[in-house]
Amino acid sequence: MSDNDIVIEAWNTVLFEKFLHFKHLLVAGLAGHSDELLSRHLYPRGASVLDVGCGFGDSTLRIAREVGPQGRAVGTDCAANFIAACEQEAQAAGITNASFFCADSQSDDLRGPYDHAFARFGTMFFMMPGAALRNIRRALKPGGVFTQIVWRKREENPWIHEAELCVRGIVPVVSHEDSNQVHCGPGPFSMSGPDMVSGMLKSAGFKGIGFERFDADICIGRDLDEAIAFAMALGPAGEIIRLAAEEGERLKPQVIVALRETLSRYVRADGVWAPSSTWFVTAKNPA
Ligand SMILES: C[S@@+](CC[C@H](N)C(=O)[O-])C[C@H]1O[C@@H](n2cnc3c(N)ncnc32)[C@H](O)[C@@H]1O
């Protein structure tokens, strides 16, 4: 299995299962960022828009509503299980101008040309981000804009970083190379540096690159127990525990005590809420 096959396998199996379990928190929390962007009506009626690494496809469906019946929203993801979930959601919602297909954004035909492309947290897990960005640009019409939402630096994202710090102090970190388990790829903060990301976009042929910061609190649990379970399953903390295998399992009671103390400061009357921060990154395919 290549490194890339390993990442695709992870998203289609263990990470898909975890995302499904915490879908109620993830979809609402991540949409806090895309709602801000999409409420600015980026996509006119009749436009065609590709949603890269679409996950459960809630952003694709929102774009489909935005572009109306004459437009189309197309979601793509490397994990067949996410695509099956998207198709069910679109059917249940009666949305007929959204479609989905399974593809590796780095190398597969993305079935363009599209007027625009969008990705909410879909690009940080690519093993070959340069190849993916080039492939996405080639799927755009001249003048088309690619808008990505990516996490800013980890220190500005306590919603997952606080748990990571806790777990790092208790569980030995096993690198991807030393583990025989599938893994998520580069990780949520791999696109947090504007210099690096703008360099990659430029090399991929994009022009007019812009970054806008957006901050929002995210609900990580309806109560403290759920926030602890969320932290131990997902994000860098969840990956450290999972890759540590038996040792990770053995140390879970200690981790739970530490997380309870750390996350209790984020408890509010309506759940556990912690700050998060993203870049809205825009880049244009030259006309
Ligand atoms: C953090 S999830 C984000 C999902 C969704 N956009 C959201 O905001 O809820 C990252 C997504 O990228 C997908 N992904 C990872 N590598 C990919 C690749 N090479 N090609 C296409 N999708 C990929 C994963 O399967 C996963 O659904």
Q: Cβ(104) to ligand 1 under 6 A?
A: yes
23-38 vs 58-67: helix crossing angle, rounded to 10: 30
pLDDT of residue 54: 98
pLDDT of residue 171: 94
Contact 138, 114 (CB under 8 A): no
> What amino acid is encoded at 175 in this protein?
S
pTM of the model: 0.96
Give yes or no for residue 3 having a pLDDT over 90.
no
Q: Is residue 236 in a domain? A: no
Q: Is residue 171 in a domain? A: no
CA 77 to ligand 1 center in whole angstroms:
6
Q: Cβ(55) to ligand 1 under 6 A?
A: yes
CA 175 to ligand 1 center in whole angstroms:
21
pLDDT of residue 186: 86
Q: Is residue 135 in a domain? A: yes
pLDDT, tens digit (0-9, with 9 covering 90-100), for 255-275: 999 999 999 999 999 999 999
Q: Cβ(122) to ligand 1 under 6 A?
A: yes
CATH number at residue 42: 3.40.50.150
Residues 6+ apart with CB under 8 A from 223: 267, 271, 272
pLDDT of residue 250: 97
Q: Is residue 273 in a domain? A: no
pLDDT of residue 176: 76
CA 265 to ligand 1 center in whole angstroms:
31
Peptide bond into 236 cis (omega under 30): no
Count of domains forming the chain? 1
Q: Cβ(125) to ligand 1 under 6 A?
A: yes
pLDDT, tens digit (0-9, with 9 covering 90-100), for 150-201: 999 999 999 999 999 999 999 999 887 777 787 788 889 999 999 999 999 9
Give yes or no for residue 234 having a pLDDT over 80.
yes
Q: Is residue 168 in a domain? A: no
Q: Is residue 25 in a domain? A: yes
CA 118 to ligand 1 center in whole angstroms:
12
Q: Is residue 203 in a domain? A: yes
Using a 10 angstrom Cβ sphere, with 0-12 exposed, 13-18 middle and 19 or more buried, the burial of residue 15 is buried
In degrees, rounded to 5, the angle at the alpha carbon of residue 277 between the alpha carbons of residues 273 and 278 is 135
Q: What is the DSSP string of 202-226?
A: HHTT-EEEEEEEEEEEEEEESSHHH
pLDDT, tens digit (0-9, with 9 covering 90-100), for 61-110: 999 999 999 999 999 999 999 999 999 999 999 999 999 999 999 999 99
CA 125 to ligand 1 center in whole angstroms:
7
* Residue 205 tokens, joined: 């042929």
Q: Is residue 8 in a domain? A: yes
Q: Cβ(188) to ligand 1 under 6 A?
A: no
CA–CA gap between residue 46 and residue 118 (Å, rounded)? 16
pLDDT of residue 208: 98
CB 170: neighbour CB atoms within 10 A?
Answer: 17
Residue to substitute in 109, 121, 184 for testing ligand 1 pocket (most ligand atoms within 8 angstroms of CB): 121
* Residue 113 tokens, joined: 């040309």
Contact 163, 235 (CB under 8 A): yes
CA 79 to ligand 1 center in whole angstroms:
8
